[in-house]
Amino acid sequence: MQTDNGQVTYLDAISQALMSEMEADPDVFIIGEDVGQFGGAFKVTKGFLDKFGPRRVVDTPMAESGFTGLAAGAALLGLRPVVEYQFADFISAAFDQIINVMARHHYRTGDPMPVTLRAPFGARLRAGPTHSQSVESYFAHVPGLKIVTPGTPEDAAGLLISSIRDNNPVLFLESKYLYRRLRTSAPLPLEPMPLGQAKVVREGSQVSVITYGAYVSECLDVAAELDKEGISAEVVDVRTLVPLDVETIVASVRKTSRAVVVHEAALRLGYGAEIAAVIQEECFWWLDQPVARIGAKNTPTPTSPPLEDAVLPQAAQIAEIVRRVATE
Amino acid sequence: MATTRARRKSGPKGEPVESRDRQLLLRIFETMALMRATEDRMVSMYRSGDLLGSLYTGHWHEAIAVGTASALRQDDFLAPLHRDLGAHLWRGMDPAQIMASFMGKATSPTGGRDGTLHYGRLDLNIYNPPSHIPDNYPVATGAAFAFQYRSEDRVALAYCGDGSTSEGDFHEAVNIAAVIKLPCIFIVENNQYAYSTPLRLQSATADFSVKAQAYGIPGVTVDGTDVLAVHDATAEAVARARSGEGPSLIECVTMRMHGHAEHDPADYVPRAMLEEWQKRDPVALYQSSLLEHHVIDEETASKVREAARKKAIEARKTALADPLPDPATVEQGVYAD
């Protein structure tokens, strides 16, 4: 199935994927704050209320824990809820329901728990310490959750479709920075894309740059610049943090013998620490340099532009580190 | 000193005992007796070291567990907690399987992945809750949501205690259910203590049913030792929920006669308070009522109590003989296919 021709933003890709799943499966519904008549804080569900009605586009009171638990109960009865959090920052209010109700339910009981938790995450929008967080590491430690972090509109659509069809709770982290910045180059195929598969998004021979989310396009830009200097960087988009596609990452690093892991989340115990550990375990004898990690400083994300820029990894800094790892 | 608050008996006026369905009356009695016998047996098992760890009992909660469950259909959704063993029995759970849960046996509903009170079974439309209470409240609203979504006339019923009412999930669940008119019944088992915390340190309101007013839903307080009062209040709330009129809250007042769990001697509870409540044994009260109204005779009453005792003894033997899970399976099932 294809949409009409033309370019599609990262946001529209998510919107179209969600709509196609709601059209295809009457058990899929969307629930959250302001998702109905307002169309969602970022307008992902604009027009959904008119199309599907209030039964399937459910505006809730301000109650992240309450509507997350509601989704869990509805999933136990065979529905496929898609929960929208206005910002990933607010998902902390639902932490208990996600960790203690959803994530371990299948292990405890054998019952499926098909819930998709959609949360716009990340920084670079001058939104400050409580509207800019990268929450993936809080959840990656918990068995039973899957975590998806698409870096392109195509992946956002395909991975959302698979997340909704998955029988487990899936934390679907949307880059709100990319919402209106990235567009597809071709009409969007609304087909499922398997979870747990990383993708080599640029082939290279001297160094592997492993990243996800908003930093995929950032690292592709850096790789293009380095190419002009004669440095050949391969870029791997992890796409799904849990389950992690170790095979693709390992194959890339064994080929290049050098690795840089990049993300926007704070460096300390950021997901890059897990990836770096896996590389060390699987590629130690192939490595020509220590694995480098790039992440935000271990501070909250400040609001003011010079402060936020000073905290987050910047292209020049990424280029410098990749250049060093690739050439020393 | 913590005292029992005055009870506002605002539940529905019940039908006389003698004109009710005798089969139902008897089944309620049998289930209450089995709950008591099973828990008494498990207290012995706890003391003799048969169980892995804690044992949470529902002595004096029998009328609440069975009074509520008996007012539901088998296809209604139940979200019980640790003092509601009788609700599981009503649905058809075998006491041996409950004991197996407290022993980490492969035959427990979770196959030993979880233990103690975590023995709900979805095939019996019973949620298996985590230890965090009342997380089952929002989950019950989700079941109710699914029924409303599919235009089914099923309802969901969730239990929590006086302590749970202080948690955010209590507020969020009751409020959401009220706003979107979900077919949900919220039971508050007011048993005077949350672990060691008395009512006066839990809530500044006179009773818990007044909180319903703030959500715009009906709330009643009933005597939680009177099984027919609990049953009638639940039946009324269920009828409302089934006909699309939304949720209700029922406070059932009783006493936690044991500690929070069996390790807890509960010496913070005034002895006089326990002595006062000792006179209000829900199983004995109901038995007296059935005898008084000639629903059963002394011989039948003895037979029911004895059958329950024997069933609990047999259940212990079964659970003891049951196998432990195979550690080779420990990594299986983290994710569903």
ipTM of this predicted structure: 0.96
- B333 by Cβ neighbours in 10 Å (0-12 / 13-18 / 19+) ranks as middle
The reply to whether A64 belongs to the active site is yes
User: Does the residue B116 lie in any domain?
Assistant: yes
pLDDT tens, residue by residue, A91-105: 999 999 999 999 999
pLDDT tens, residue order, chain B (337 aa) = 333 443 445 555 678 999 999 999 999 999 999 999 999 999 999 999 999 989 999 999 999 999 999 999 999 999 999 999 999 999 999 999 999 999 999 999 999 999 999 999 999 999 999 999 999 999 999 999 999 999 999 999 999 999 999 999 999 999 999 999 999 999 999 999 999 999 999 999 979 999 999 999 999 999 999 999 999 999 999 999 999 999 999 999 999 999 999 999 999 999 999 999 999 999 999 999 999 999 999 999 999 999 999 999 999 999 999 999 999 999 999 999 9
Selected catalytic residue, list A21, A33, A64, A174 = A64
Torsion angle of the four alpha carbons B16, B17, B20, B21, in this order, in degrees rounded to the nearest 10: 180
Find the closest chain A residue to B335 by CA distance.
A144
All CATH 3.40.50.970 domain ranges in chain A, comma separated: 10-175
Interface check A109 vs B, CB under 8 A: yes
User: Does the residue B7 lie in any domain?
Assistant: no
Selected catalytic residue, list A21, A33, A84, A131 = A131
Interface check B179 vs A, CB under 8 A: yes
B149 and A107 within 8 Å at the Cβ level: the answer is: no
B132 and A58 within 8 Å at the Cβ level: the answer is: no
What is the least distance, in Å, from the CA of B298 to any CA of chain A?
42
A70 and B120 within 8 Å at the Cβ level: the answer is: no
Report the distance separating Cα A208 and Cα A100, nearest Å: 37
A77 and B336 within 8 Å at the Cβ level: the answer is: no
The three-class DSSP label of residue B70 is coil
Interface check B120 vs A, CB under 8 A: yes
Mention the CATH class of domain A10-175.
alpha beta
A146 and B335 within 8 Å at the Cβ level: the answer is: yes
Contact B145, B77 (CB under 8 A): no
What is the least distance, in Å, from the CA of B77 to any CA of chain A?
9
The structure tokens listed for A131 are 């509207």
> Which CATH number covers residue B53?
3.40.50.970
Alpha carbon separation from A88 to A85, A160, A202, B292 (Å, rounded): 6, 16, 29, 62
A72 and B142 within 8 Å at the Cβ level: the answer is: yes
The neighbour count for residue A55, using CB atoms within 10 Å, is 12
pLDDT tens, residue by residue, A211-240: 999 999 999 999 999 999 999 999 999 999
Question: Structural domain tally of chain B?
Answer: 1
Among candidates A60, A69, A79 on the partner chain, residue whose Cβ is nearest the Cβ of B149: A79
Percent of chain A surpassing pLDDT 90? 96
Q: Which of residues 93-112 of B touch A (CB under 8 A)?
A: 109-110
What is the least distance, in Å, from the CA of A94 to any CA of chain B?
10
Contact A42, A33 (CB under 8 A): no
Q: Which domain holds residue B191?
A: 20-319
Quickly state the pLDDT bin for A1 (edges 50, 70, 90): very low
Alpha carbon separation from A50 to A24, A45, A67, B73, B179 (Å, rounded): 17, 10, 22, 36, 21
Q: What is the pLDDT of residue A99?
A: 98
Q: What is the CATH number of domain A199-327?
A: 3.40.50.920
Q: Is B241 left (phi over 0), alpha (psi -120 to 50) or beta?
A: alpha
- B73 by Cβ neighbours in 10 Å (0-12 / 13-18 / 19+) ranks as exposed
Find the closest chain A residue to B78 by CA distance.
A73
All CATH 3.40.50.920 domain ranges in chain A, comma separated: 199-327
A74 and B137 within 8 Å at the Cβ level: the answer is: no
Contact A88, A173 (CB under 8 A): yes
Among candidates A55, A96, A106 on the partner chain, residue whose Cβ is nearest the Cβ of B135: A96
